[in-house]
Structure 1
Amino acid sequence: MTATSLEQEIKFLRQQNAHLKQQLHTITQASLKSVENAEHATTEVLTEQLELRIEERTQTLQMVIAQLQAEIRDRHEAEIALAASEAKFRSLVEHANGVIFELALDGTFTYLSPHFTNVWGFEISEVMHESFAHCIYPKDLYACQSFLKKIAITGEKQSGLEFRAQCKDSSTPWMMSNASPMYGSKRQLIGFQGIAFDISDLKQAEAALRESEQRFRDVSEAAGEYLWELSADGIYTFATEKSKFVKGYKPAQLIGRSPFEFMPTTDSVKVKAILKDACAHKRSFTLEYRNITPSGEIAWEKVNGLPLLDEAGEIVGFRGAGLSITQQKVAEEALRSSEQELRQKAQDLERTLKELQHTQSQLIQSEKMSSLGQLVAGVAHEINNPVNFIFGNLFHANEYAQDLMRLIQVYRQAYPNPVSRVQAEADEIDLDFVLEDLPKLLSSMRVGAERIQKIVSSLRTFSRMDEADFKAVDIHEGIDSTLMILQSRLKGRSDRPEITVTKHYGTLPQVECYAGQLNQVFMNLLSNAIDAIDEQIENHASSSAPNAIQALSPLASCPLPLITIHTELTHSNHIRIRIADNGSGIPAAVRDRLFDPFFTTKPVGKGTGMGLSISYQIVTERHHGTLHCNSSPGQGSEFVIEIPVKQ
């Protein structure tokens, strides 16, 4: 039922309902005007009957209206779904990589998808209702016509037609088409529909592959290799002429026989195992084995091969190339006779090199500590005197300033209205601001002088120039002095927030050690921790660069930089110091070489590779302790030092 007929039916029912109501009103009025002796019961019966008919018609009308509204709603939803489906199909057609087409029985185009213009170069309006023959390379037209004729005869879909297109710019790209018959309402054939894909790249790849195969064959022959093929049960099915120079047998002597017939038993066992593994994993293989030539001599051969698979992925044989390596093996045997002597010499040289590296690192350590001590002593001496002079005079300068400010206040109270010249000068120098800011300025200078004194003290503590070479010291004091020296590197920068240092100090006794050397260990480990954190942030920023939002704030999702220091006294009367960071972590291959002399992962000019090596020697040799690293990539690093409380 259409929407118009539904509306007419509703209108008719409403008119009928209005007519019944009018009849009820007329009968009621007639009853009122009837004679008084008329039977009142008859009027009531008629009235009740009319009311029942009206109620029944009203209910029927409401049911019909509800049904009509449901049908209208269902029809509207169906129209929306149909429109969405049509839009989706249109979008798929318009964005398909292939050209979708429809042909009439006479071969004229009745539909072309937009991608046609991208391939052929013609506007669709130029070829619509024209014969498709104008768009086919003349030499391939017969194949296309036969393709359509087969569809018309069989009534079945046909696939895989390859032909060349005739484009507007005279180019002839290769296409592949699949097509199906189109039927009318009476199941009569009315045309063809299908899709065509550009396969020019595939054709070029096939041509390149054929050329590559020929080139490989030529190169293999020129290199002295022979090509071979085996069946699935290991029988030669093909071999090139070069086989007689490698194996000693001509191809006719090999075909139909197994390669294992020409090998010593030990070699055949090894080769069979390798082929079995290649079959199990369906992968290429390389192997070397011996052949027994017709004259009984041994000829070495190197083979590269791979399994041949059918469409179902099952192995149907093997293919590869063989190369003679007899001369190479003879040379290797000659070299092997002197290998032991060379290995011994290499071991001696390696031992000598390690001794030289150890001696060099000790010299570097000694020179470094000596130079550091002299530098710190000189800096501390040169800074300490002027700082003491400034610090001592700041007290008097503060008193003088207070006296002058008090005098100015008394003068203001005694002469509240100074002469204009005095008032002008006071306004010029902003006397109120000077009186307010001068105490702050002096206080700031005092804080700065105290800061310099602490730095000088930390330098002296770090170098231990004023103490004996070996004595009991407070380890925490050495760590704090090292952190003071590294304070400038811990501060935040434009590309990195401040590195937070959390200290969890246990209760430690005085520890007998070479304090200056141990402080150098702390310096190396903390410096490396800072470098690791900087590297982590740089890597995170570079990996976020492609995202424009993250590039503006590369640290948005990067963890806050953190260095944690733990100290504790162990049950074995040793102290354990753990210095951890949340940097980039250290791979296992690098971790195994951390303490090797001159090994570094830093760029040229940023590291000598001696810091951790010297630290390891200081801890293990000078203090009879241990130093090791716990780390994995992306999880940060932790260096653990353990030394005895008493040596």
Structure 2
Amino acid sequence: MSTLPVIGEVLKNLKKTNNGFPNYQIDHVVYFKYGYLLFITKEPVPESHDIFKRFAKVFEQTYTRFLDLKKAEAQSDLIKKEKERLEVALSELKATQSQLIQSEKMASLGELTAGIAHEIQNPLNFVNNFSEVSKELLDEMLEEIENGDMEEVKAIMDDVVQNLEKINHHGKRADGIVKGMLQHSRASGSQKEPTDINALADEYLRLAYHGLRAKDKSFNATLITDFDDTLEKVNVIPQDIGRVVLNLLTNAFYAVSEKKNQNNIEDFEPTVSITTKKDSNKVNISVKDNGNGIPKHVIEKIYQPFFTTKPTGQGTGLGLSMSYDIVTKGHGGELKVNTKQGMGTEFIIKLPI
């Protein structure tokens, strides 16, 4: 749009006012970034031109700041609304994360179910057998009492006492398994306590193995344990460290099973080992397998939430992510991995003593 018609329109409007401006004329026009300023007077005032230019410059700066302020206010409103939206999204994300973590815990408990059933069945079989034998011995003892053979009664009584001790031992064994299962299913936040790492590692090795065997009767693997007998109890949250060990063992058994099924190698012997070792002011728990190993392009992603190489429906992608957080954030430790493609993988849990 041309400037002159606009100025003419301004003068026309001025002349239409009540007082009118019949003798006024445009003395000076000063342009600035957002428009222009008119200096209208009856008589030219040359010395005012410089002042008018400076005034226009100040006006431009003031108007610029005014526009900046309006923009800042608009941005502030947008930022406030975006902050509120992000806070809602974060709250929903935390709730979803909590649900997913609990689902992962229950999924790992499901992995244990078959192994737990197998482990409980063994002591229950002993309890049943020793109970039946004790009943038969008591019947014999009644006969010997009637016969008056007190020496034989004492001998039978000794056998009954031994049986009762064995029943008590295996009953406690079953009770310990159930307590371990309940601990595993509890939410995190439990207190650290002195824990026998060797016993924990051995327990979860058998539970994980029998759990997989219950799903696939044809699966067999060589289990190797090498526990440091000098290792004292370590202050940890047992159900959380147990969950980590279970996850690593489950992955190890999956790896050796996949290698055997994929390659159909006749002389391949699936092997999973778990070792404990005191190392200065740390305890190392190592879980090693002779599976296919982890490819280089995958190794950097294994601790990312929801990342999994397992087929859909077989893995949530939260196992290693949760394990990493439990070890590093929950216990101030480290979770290391060594792998060689085609040869196998070793995960090492390093916990401070």
TM-score of Structure 1 vs Structure 2, range by shorter chain: 0.5 to 0.7
Listed one character per residue, the Cα deviations across residues 348-367 of structure 1 (whole Å, up to 9, x for unaligned) are: x99x9999767644443356
Alignment-derived partner of residue 64 in structure 1: none
Is 1:629 paired with 2:351? no
The size of the alignment, in residue pairs, is: 238
Alignment-derived partner of residue 475 in structure 1: 197
Task: Evaluate the alpha carbon distance shift between residue 449 and residue 484 of structure 1 in structure 2; reply closer, same or farther with a 3 A threshold.
Answer: farther
Q: Considering only CA atoms, is the larger Rg found in Structure 1 or Structure 2?
A: 1
Pairs within 5 Å for 1:520-559: 520-541=243-264, 555-558=265-268
In 2, Cα distance between equivalents of 1:597 and 1:623 = 19
In 2, Cα distance between equivalents of 1:358 and 1:640 = 29
In 2, Cα distance between equivalents of 1:367 and 1:505 = 32
Contact kept? 2:285, 2:350, Cα under 8 Å: yes
In 1, Cα distance between equivalents of 2:317 and 2:263 = 25
Task: Evaluate the alpha carbon distance shift between residue 472 and residue 361 of structure 1 in structure 2; reply closer, same or farther with a 3 A threshold.
Answer: farther
Deviation at 1:523, TM superposition (A): 0.6
Secondary structure, aligned partner of 2:252: helix
Alignment counterpart, residue 365 of structure 1, candidates 101, 104, 112 = 101
In 2, Cα distance between equivalents of 1:514 and 1:400 = 46
Secondary structure, aligned partner of 2:261: helix
Listed one character per residue, the Cα deviations across residues 266-298 of structure 1 (whole Å, up to 9, x for unaligned) are: xxxxxxxxxxxxxxxxxxxxxxxxxxxxxxxxx
Secondary structure, aligned partner of 2:329: helix
Alignment-derived partner of residue 612 in structure 1: 320
Listed one character per residue, the Cα deviations across residues 74-99 of structure 1 (whole Å, up to 9, x for unaligned) are: xxxxxxxxxxxxxxxxxxxxxxxxxx
Is 1:515 paired with 2:238? yes
Pairs within 5 Å for 1:23-34: none
Pairs within 5 Å for 1:336-347: none
Deviation at 1:479, TM superposition (A): 1.1
Task: Evaluate the alpha carbon distance shift between residue 510 and residue 358 of structure 1 in structure 2; reply closer, same or farther with a 3 A threshold.
Answer: farther
Contact kept? 2:127, 2:170, Cα under 8 Å: no
In 2, Cα distance between equivalents of 1:389 and 1:557 = 40
In 2, Cα distance between equivalents of 1:584 and 1:448 = 44
Contact kept? 2:252, 2:272, Cα under 8 Å: yes
- Give 2:345's aligned amino acid: S
Deviation at 1:514, TM superposition (A): 1.0
- Give 1:569's aligned amino acid: K
Query: What TM-score comes out, normalization by structure 2 length?
Result: 0.55
Listed one character per residue, the Cα deviations across residues 486-541 of structure 1 (whole Å, up to 9, x for unaligned) are: 24246596744x21111111222221111111100011000000000100001112
Alignment counterpart, residue 562 of structure 1, candidates 261, 271, 288 = 271
Is 1:640 paired with 2:348? yes
Q: Which runs of 4+ in 1 moved over 6 A?
A: 352-359, 370-373, 403-406, 446-452
Contact kept? 2:104, 2:319, Cα under 8 Å: no
Task: Evaluate the alpha carbon distance shift between residue 633 and residue 372 of structure 1 in structure 2; reply closer, same or farther with a 3 A threshold.
Answer: closer
Secondary structure, aligned partner of 1:486: helix
Pairs within 5 Å for 1:376-395: 390=128, 393-395=131-133
Deviation at 1:605, TM superposition (A): 1.3
Alignment counterpart, residue 500 of structure 1, candidates 222, 232, 236 = 222
- Give 2:179's aligned amino acid: R
Structure with more contact order per residue of length (Cα contacts < 8 Å, sep ≥ 6): 2
Pairs within 5 Å for 1:90-239: none
Alignment-derived partner of residue 411 in structure 1: none
Alignment-derived partner of residue 464 in structure 1: 183
In 2, Cα distance between equivalents of 1:626 and 1:368 = 21
Alignment-derived partner of residue 576 in structure 1: 284
Listed one character per residue, the Cα deviations across residues 145-189 of structure 1 (whole Å, up to 9, x for unaligned) are: xxxxxxxxxxxxxxxxxxxxxxxxxxxxxxxxxxxxxxxxxxxxx
Secondary structure, aligned partner of 1:556: coil
Contact kept? 1:458, 1:484, Cα under 8 Å: no
Alignment-derived partner of residue 307 in structure 2: 599
Contact kept? 1:455, 1:484, Cα under 8 Å: no
In 2, Cα distance between equivalents of 1:594 and 1:627 = 12
Contact kept? 1:462, 1:482, Cα under 8 Å: no
- Give 2:302's aligned amino acid: L
Query: What TM-score comes out, normalization by structure 1 length?
Result: 0.32
Tell me how large the CA RMSD over aligned residues is: 4.5
Deviation at 1:472, TM superposition (A): 1.4
- Give 1:470's aligned amino acid: K
Deviation at 1:637, TM superposition (A): 0.5
Task: Evaluate the alpha carbon distance shift between residue 471 and residue 453 of structure 1 in structure 2; reply closer, same or farther with a 3 A threshold.
Answer: closer
Contact kept? 1:459, 1:485, Cα under 8 Å: no
Pairs within 5 Å for 1:236-255: none
Secondary structure, aligned partner of 2:231: coil
Contact kept? 1:583, 1:637, Cα under 8 Å: yes
- Give 1:570's aligned amino acid: D
Task: Evaluate the alpha carbon distance shift between residue 372 and residue 606 of structure 1 in structure 2; reply closer, same or farther with a 3 A threshold.
Answer: closer
Contact kept? 2:291, 2:344, Cα under 8 Å: yes
Deviation at 1:398, TM superposition (A): 3.4
Deviation at 1:395, TM superposition (A): 4.7
Deviation at 1:391, TM superposition (A): 6.7
Alignment-derived partner of residue 173 in structure 2: 454
Contact kept? 1:579, 1:639, Cα under 8 Å: yes
Contact kept? 2:241, 2:327, Cα under 8 Å: yes
